[in-house]
Structure 1
Amino acid sequence: MMENKLEELSQKLGIATSFSAQGIANQKVSDELLKFFCAQFGVDVSSEQKIKEELQKLTDAAYKQTVQPIYVVRQNALAIDVCLKQKDAAEKIELTAKRKDDENAKTLSIEFSKIEEKKIGNTTYDKLRLQIKENLEIGYYDLELKNGKHTYHTTLAVAPEKCYTTADVESAKLWGFTLQLYSLKSKRNWGIGDFSDLKDFARIAAGLGADIIGLNPINALFHDFPENASPYSSISRLFLNPIYIDVEQTQGFSESIKKKYAKEIIEANAAELIDYTNVYNIKIKVLYELFEKMKKPNKAFQAFKKEQGINLHLFAVYQAIYQSKCRNVWGGWQAWPKGLKNQSPMDLAIFEQTHENEIEFFKFLQFEAARQFNEAAEYVKSLGLKIGLYRDLPVGVCKDSAELWSDRYVYFKDLGAGAPPDAFFPNGQKWCLGAFNPVELKKQAYQPFLKILRANMKSAGALRIDHVMSLMRLFMIKDTGVEGTYIYYHFEDMLALTALESHLNKCVIVGESIGNVPEGFMEKLKENNIYAMSVLWAERWDFGNGDFKAPQYYSEEAFASVGTHDMTPLKMWWFGYDIELKNKLGLISDIEKQNLYKGREADRWRLLKVLDENGTWPKDNLRKSDYLYGEGYPEGLSEAVHKLLGKAKSKVVVLQMEDILGVTELQNLPGTDRDKYPNWRHKLPINLEDLATNMTFIRNITAVKEGRG
């Protein structure tokens, strides 16, 4: 009996009691793990009696709460449910709404009907459905419910039926690029791609007819540990990484400053791999000098601080405390003195008084990063790209992040996001990323989620949501173990809010859905105008194990590409260097290596087959050999692949620079850290200044344009 009650309690909280992974259906979650997960919601599961009591409390709470913290409705279905004591339900009910950006309240015409009643103790509650008869514009409203002598307040979010798109995206076959911004190499940068490089690349791309430029996540990382360079493990998705600032474009910069650091800059620029510590430290030293030179208050800086408000202030305070307490010791905010860890107003006030300059400097870094990024985004728009910048929103955030410190109660404490085993990652993945508690998230009217969406949609024409299944469910794993299960979110609310923010920010939404995708999920994305990602390596018949699909079988409502930052670049894939690398690092056994080599041999043949059948080889560079054993690289292969991609039915095609330029290193090898492999550190093989005249680059672009027609 206890098992059933425990499962019932778990399901009410959104915890999956079983799940399917890697072809094995309904893998049952142990009672021990369910109890651990329930405890993460603040629920007492110490005994059978406590489980029953908690279950009853949850059931009753749904009726005792008159209004929800937020109502998320679609514009074509304006109705909300409220719960009133039966004696109050007989009283007059009045509903008024005021847009968040308007002072005028409006009394709404409503019809209500009783849909349920529930007796709790001696009190009977009626659940009423209030149907709003007026048409309401999309947006956020302060909602006031008057019932007799009682008044209740909440928020109403009115969302459109679908996410934003444009006529250009819907009618044209667009193409463009996806970049790892850090990898851009130029004669002028300081050892890492920056926002000025982005502008230069955009100018080249626009001249060739591109309409979209995708970026890796550019959110803030650890100031004191630059080597923690994964863009998918941010300390805040609200703010930018200052390493992308072009210091030479910062107010007050002079050639004399550059001469002072000339040796370090030359070394950083010449380094084969990005030396994050060296690059970041040089930039921060110079930026601090420029910050100190600001004698009189900068009006733009003051306006930025006012606009960003408490979010910027807490972020800057977090960074200043981290610098003070963790510069030489990895301990994180959990190891800070209790008052600072728990944000005691008195302790924070004392710290802020004694570290005012450091806090102001961290705000300045965000001001300058935002200024330069926004300027780059405006420049991209001025070039006429139909979509423009295409940003990337990570699924989670570092467990030691500013996000968790400043808003910890909306995140799980002892759980981290990951993924169960799938075809690409047979051992599953433990990302150790902080993720939202769905119960607390709704209590806060989804504000933490909305803030992140807005920050990443700003200045972007499109947004890629990493692991988009997280709008519905996220696989969570114990911080201290490997066991996990899914946590379910309020999917309809999350979808509707994403649609609303996409319209308010005029931003197209793309969902990355590689992995375990729930049944019917992709159809739901399509209904909501969320574009899928079609990846060549995954676009195969027989559940990803058969022949490569011809271009006409790609999804139309998709952004198509050869691979992703986690996948092997084309030339590396052809030679099988990724298999050799994984074996060398101990990620696969010798037997697995041999089996993978055999599979790769068959896959080379399958790739050549789809290229032959679709006639995508360049006419002046027809293939002269198969090289099925990886002993050579077929002439014109990358051009043929990109023409095939160009012919895809998908609305948008994006090219990776690594595939175009024949790179034979992975940008990221999942399952490894920098002690095993230099993830996120590879520069592109040619300088930006030479890109527009590089024949390999030009021929590949010509191929994709021919495919697009």
Structure 2
Amino acid sequence: MMGSHLDQLAKQHGISLMRPSPDNVEVPISDETKRQVLAALGVDERSAVTQQKQPPPKAIPQSYLSETLEQGGVWGISLQLYELRSKRNWGIGDFEDLIGMTRLCSSLGADFVGLNPLHAPFLADPDRCSPYEPSNRQMLNPLYIAVDKVPGFKASPELERRLRSLRETDLVDYVGVAEAKLTTLREIWRSQQASGSDTADSEDFQNFVQAGGDVLRLHALFETLSAFMIKRGNGAGWKGWLVEYRTPDSPEVAEFAEAHADDIRFHMWLQWLAHLQLGKAAEAALDARLKIGLYLDLAVGEAMDGSATWSERDAYISDVTVGSPPDPFATAGQDWHLAAFHPDQIASGKQSPYRRMVTAAMRYAGAIRIDHAAALRRLFLVPLESAPDGGAYVNYPQHKLLQILADASAEYRCVVIGEDLGMLPEGLQDDLAEAQILSYRILSYERGEDGFKPADAYPRLSLACISTHDHQTLAGWWRGADIKARAEHGIVPPHVSATHLDQRKHEREELKLVLDEAGVETPHRLPSAANDQKLRELVVSAHRFISKTLSVMVAVRLADMTGEKQPTNIPGTSDSYPNWKPKLSLPVEELANLLLVQEIADVMQQERPWSNAGLQLSERS
């Protein structure tokens, strides 16, 4: 009887009683998991089960769809901002480099620049560099500030030598970059105050601070406390701090804030600079006549011990992390170490946490991508100290979240893309299509029982691409580098890797077949160990195919255009691979002269200008 009550209580609070196994078979979650997740949601196990009437279904709210997409297919270049090399940056791509990329895209006929999440990291611990595990999604990353473009900047010979060293590394030296940038920005800040030209007194900055309110102030306070704690041997995240500093409303925190008012204002100034420079890049994209402009990515959550969870504790579930259940490519499941919004709080209030988070990106963007769009309906939550197979799916208020996206996208005239990959709840893709949220289609995933799907099988209301930050380039995929990497890093057992390598032989043949059927010429005799020249021809052919799809948007990954050998990220690894650090092999200034860049751009120009005239919404799924 107790089990029955527990099941009913779990179902009442949106907890699924089943989860997938590595063999894609549904298995029941344990009673212990139910108890742990209920407790994390703040539900007493002894609570009475109440009968709740199901409200009648409501019409699905529709997000903004630009006239540009109504008129015909567009394409753009996606990249990781930090990976950009240039002759002037400080060892990490920055907002000035982004302006350079908007001009390059314009010259190539592209319509948008797609970027990794630009959310605020842990400045006091720069090596916590994953853009998908940020400290706060409402704030920007100050490491992307182009310091040489900040009024009052003066270079010294010693600094120039240091910057040359930072530029020459093949991996972003986040610690070195942070030290150089924050030290120099602090000097500018102090110099302006001493000279009486303090930007902290400017009307624009004052308005920015006022508009930011408590969210901005608490983030700046967090950053100041985080740096203070690091110097004393504690962690950058609040869970490693002294107990009296773990909540922002304690007397000790109030006393600290009063004593460090200048430091707090400095961190608000950094956010203002980042805001100004990203805004300038967005304007540059419009000036360059990019039809979409900037396309920004939203991480699915924030770090458990970051600024967001510290300053808005009640908005998050504290005793679980976001992850994914076991599947064939991660047989033990995954723990993403991300905090989840509480289902009861995520959409509450006029300025709900979700609304504030999405508009923080939409204000600069012509399109946003929602990472892990399944979170619009459910998240897989793993109790702390449990393995991922001890987690459970928990439902979220889908209609309310879609309404927020519809309202915000209309206000900012911003297209919404949903990363609808992996294990999706039944009917979600149909709901997203009805909501005018673009589906996210990756070439290697678009396969059915008969092999790769033809170009005309891609839904019109979608973004198509060949690879992403979580994948090898197409050349790497052809060579099986992704399978070998998963084996080398122990993500999947050897026998599974052997099966995947055998499958890849068939996948290569199927890819050539679908290209041939689409009338795309492919190189003959292309073995798995083909040389770069042969693979370059294949890469061009694959992009011609993807440009022929019905998808209204196509994203070309810059790493595919430059033939990068090092992957951006190997999912499932942490210390064994330098995720989020590899730079491009060429600087921004040389990209326009690269033959592969020109060839892919020519393919896109030839194939993309087609018309959507007369297309009905019902035809877009």
TM-score for both structures, normalised by structure 1: 0.81
Contact preservation (8 Å) 1:185, 1:191: yes
In structure 1, the residue matched to 2:189 is 291
- 1:574-625: CA deviations, max 9, x gaps? 22233333333333444334333222222222222222222223xxxx6242
In the alignment, the residues of structure 2 paired with residue 585 and residue 345 of structure 1 have an alpha-carbon distance, to the nearest angstrom, of 44
CA offset at residue 2 of structure 1? 1.6
Contact preservation (8 Å) 1:320, 1:358: yes
Contact preservation (8 Å) 2:229, 2:235: no
Contact preservation (8 Å) 2:480, 2:528: no
Q: What is the SS of the residue equivalent to 2:206? A: helix
Matched, 1:672 2:593: no
Assess, with a 3 A threshold, how the Cα gap between structure 1 residues 537 and 426 changes in structure 2: closer, same or farther: farther
In the alignment, the residues of structure 2 paired with residue 253 and residue 359 of structure 1 have an alpha-carbon distance, to the nearest angstrom, of 21
Q: How does 1:357-506 map to 2 (within 5 A)?
A: 357-441=262-346, 447-482=352-387, 483-506=390-413
In structure 1, the residue matched to 2:563 is 662
Contact preservation (8 Å) 1:191, 1:270: yes
In structure 2, the residue matched to 1:6 is 6
Q: What is the SS of the residue equivalent to 2:290? A: coil
Contact preservation (8 Å) 1:72, 1:493: no
User: Structure 2 counterpart of 1:341, which letter?
Assistant: R
Q: 2:119 aligns with which of 211, 214, 219?
A: 219
In structure 2, the residue matched to 1:647 is 548
Q: How does 1:604-619 map to 2 (within 5 A)?
A: 604-617=508-521
CA offset at residue 19 of structure 1? 3.2
Contact preservation (8 Å) 2:227, 2:236: no
Assess, with a 3 A threshold, how the Cα gap between structure 1 residues 351 and 525 changes in structure 2: closer, same or farther: same
Contact preservation (8 Å) 1:645, 1:707: no
In the alignment, the residues of structure 2 paired with residue 395 and residue 72 of structure 1 have an alpha-carbon distance, to the nearest angstrom, of 29
Which structure has the larger Rg? 1
Matched, 1:572 2:476: yes
Q: 1:175 aligns with which of 71, 75, 99?
A: 75
In structure 2, the residue matched to 1:271 is 169
CA offset at residue 693 of structure 1? 1.6
In the alignment, the residues of structure 2 paired with residue 570 and residue 409 of structure 1 have an alpha-carbon distance, to the nearest angstrom, of 43
CA offset at residue 634 of structure 1? 4.2
Matched, 1:302 2:192: no
Q: What is the SS of the residue equivalent to 2:317? A: coil
Compare 443-452 and 604-613 and name the one that shifted more. Answer: 443-452
CA offset at residue 468 of structure 1? 0.7
- 1:297-341: CA deviations, max 9, x gaps? 233222211111111100011111111123433373134334322
CA offset at residue 434 of structure 1? 0.1
Q: What is the SS of the residue equivalent to 2:314? A: helix
In the alignment, the residues of structure 2 paired with residue 663 and residue 235 of structure 1 have an alpha-carbon distance, to the nearest angstrom, of 29
CA offset at residue 631 of structure 1? 6.7
In structure 2, the residue matched to 1:355 is 260
Assess, with a 3 A threshold, how the Cα gap between structure 1 residues 677 and 212 changes in structure 2: closer, same or farther: same
Q: What is the SS of the residue equivalent to 1:434? A: strand
Q: What is the SS of the residue equivalent to 1:676? A: coil
Contact preservation (8 Å) 2:106, 2:290: yes
In structure 2, the residue matched to 1:146 is none
Unaligned runs of 5+ in 1: 46-50, 63-70, 78-159
Contact preservation (8 Å) 1:174, 1:652: yes
In the alignment, the residues of structure 1 paired with residue 358 and residue 236 of structure 2 have an alpha-carbon distance, to the nearest angstrom, of 29
- 1:331-360: CA deviations, max 9, x gaps? 731343343222335323211121112111
- 1:415-435: CA deviations, max 9, x gaps? 000111335434322101000
Q: What is the SS of the residue equivalent to 2:335? A: strand
User: Structure 1 counterpart of 2:19, which letter?
Assistant: F
Q: What is the SS of the residue equivalent to 1:370? A: helix
In the alignment, the residues of structure 2 paired with residue 696 and residue 366 of structure 1 have an alpha-carbon distance, to the nearest angstrom, of 37
In the alignment, the residues of structure 1 paired with residue 273 and residue 463 of structure 2 have an alpha-carbon distance, to the nearest angstrom, of 32
CA offset at residue 449 of structure 1? 1.3
Structure with more strand by fraction: 1
Q: What is the SS of the residue equivalent to 2:139? A: strand
Matched, 1:203 2:103: yes
In the alignment, the residues of structure 1 paired with residue 323 and residue 531 of structure 2 have an alpha-carbon distance, to the nearest angstrom, of 37
User: Structure 2 counterpart of 1:645, which letter?
Assistant: I
In the alignment, the residues of structure 2 paired with residue 283 and residue 445 of structure 1 have an alpha-carbon distance, to the nearest angstrom, of 37
TM-score for both structures, normalised by structure 2: 0.92
Q: How does 1:104-119 map to 2 (within 5 A)?
A: none
In structure 1, the residue matched to 2:466 is 562
Contact preservation (8 Å) 2:247, 2:311: no
Matched, 1:700 2:600: yes
Considering Cα pairs closer than 8 Å and 6+ residues apart, tell me whether 1 or 2 has the greater RCO: 2
In the alignment, the residues of structure 1 paired with residue 376 and residue 580 of structure 2 have an alpha-carbon distance, to the nearest angstrom, of 27
CA offset at residue 21 of structure 1? 5.0
In the alignment, the residues of structure 2 paired with residue 25 and residue 446 of structure 1 have an alpha-carbon distance, to the nearest angstrom, of 40
Q: What is the SS of the residue equivalent to 2:475? A: helix
User: Structure 2 counterpart of 1:396, which letter?
Assistant: G
- 1:666-690: CA deviations, max 9, x gaps? 10001111x2111111111111111
- 1:82-110: CA deviations, max 9, x gaps? xxxxxxxxxxxxxxxxxxxxxxxxxxxxx
In the alignment, the residues of structure 1 paired with residue 357 and residue 213 of structure 2 have an alpha-carbon distance, to the nearest angstrom, of 15
Contact preservation (8 Å) 1:658, 1:684: yes
CA offset at residue 187 of structure 1? 1.1
Compare 257-266 and 14-23 and name the one that shifted more. Answer: 14-23
Q: What is the SS of the residue equivalent to 1:517? A: coil
In structure 1, the residue matched to 2:615 is none
Compare 396-405 and 160-169 and name the one that shifted more. Answer: 160-169
In the alignment, the residues of structure 2 paired with residue 173 and residue 19 of structure 1 have an alpha-carbon distance, to the nearest angstrom, of 38
Give the count of matched residue pairs.
Answer: 599
In structure 1, the residue matched to 2:617 is none
In structure 2, the residue matched to 1:147 is none
Assess, with a 3 A threshold, how the Cα gap between structure 1 residues 242 and 634 changes in structure 2: closer, same or farther: closer
Q: What is the SS of the residue equivalent to 1:417? A: strand
CA offset at residue 179 of structure 1? 1.0
In the alignment, the residues of structure 2 paired with residue 73 and residue 437 of structure 1 have an alpha-carbon distance, to the nearest angstrom, of 23
CA offset at residue 444 of structure 1? 5.0
Matched, 1:538 2:442: no
User: Structure 2 counterpart of 1:174, which letter?
Assistant: V
Q: What is the SS of the residue equivalent to 2:592? A: helix
Q: How does 1:40-189 map to 2 (within 5 A)?
A: 40-45=40-45, 51=46, 54-56=47-49, 161-189=61-89
Contact preservation (8 Å) 1:646, 1:708: yes
Assess, with a 3 A threshold, how the Cα gap between structure 1 residues 312 and 594 changes in structure 2: closer, same or farther: same
- Sequence identity percentage: 32
Unaligned runs of 5+ in 2: 610-621
In the alignment, the residues of structure 1 paired with residue 509 and residue 347 of structure 2 have an alpha-carbon distance, to the nearest angstrom, of 51
Q: 1:637 aligns with which of 532, 538, 545?
A: 538
Contact preservation (8 Å) 2:112, 2:290: yes
Q: What is the SS of the residue equivalent to 1:537? A: helix
Contact preservation (8 Å) 2:372, 2:421: yes
Contact preservation (8 Å) 1:19, 1:27: yes
User: Structure 2 counterpart of 1:37, which letter?
Assistant: V
In the alignment, the residues of structure 1 paired with residue 351 and residue 214 of structure 2 have an alpha-carbon distance, to the nearest angstrom, of 17
Contact preservation (8 Å) 2:330, 2:492: no
Compare 511-520 and 287-296 and name the one that shifted more. Answer: 287-296
User: Structure 2 counterpart of 1:694, which letter?
Assistant: L
Q: What is the SS of the residue equivalent to 2:424? A: coil
